Structure 1
Amino acid sequence: MEAPPLRNFWNTALRDLGKIGVAYILITVGVWLVFMIIIPQLIMFDYSLRPMLPLREIGGPKDVWTLKNYMVFFSNRLHMAIFFKTIWSSIIVTSTALAICYP
């Protein structure tokens, strides 16, 4: 019985690169993931919860988290129309790319 493909991958990687090489690759990918994807997403989420304030008031007592931005977004028909057009366009582009590029 053959080993699963993923186990073969890790066995081959360990044999070719050694433990230090595999650890280096995993740490590098982990650091990239944290700094290039997770932290920017958290910053954008933080910005989405803050009110639009003049520069001199940022960090002051009025700078608190609120759901007002989301309430405005979901109550505005124009914003929702644009949002759903974006989702629909994303589905079409993804489907087209899969249909053309998938072997």
Structure 2
Amino acid sequence: MKTPLSSILLVLLAAFIGSFGAVFLKSGAARLHRQIRTLLFNWRLAAGVGFFVLSSFFFVLGLREGELSVLYPMVALGYIWTLFWSRLFFGEPLTRNK
């Protein structure tokens, strides 16, 4: 089985969208308090979950016709995107260890 370009692009899109899921979860988590209401009505947490669901949808579509051994390593690009978003949105430092 050869992995088509469309599968590669879908998985890359999934990784990109998933990185935004992490950003929104972090942003929502920073606004949580001891009250359960802050969890239930936190739109940032909901957006983060939504981005992860959307990311999973594209990932599954990509896997449908592609090879897992080719596509799954591309998921790691989501971690790299998250590094940049962390710097941009939260001012977290990019260190050599990261």
> With structure 1 as the length reference, what TM-score do the two structures score?
0.34
Kindly name which structure, 1 or 2, has the bigger radius of gyration based on alpha carbons. Answer: 1
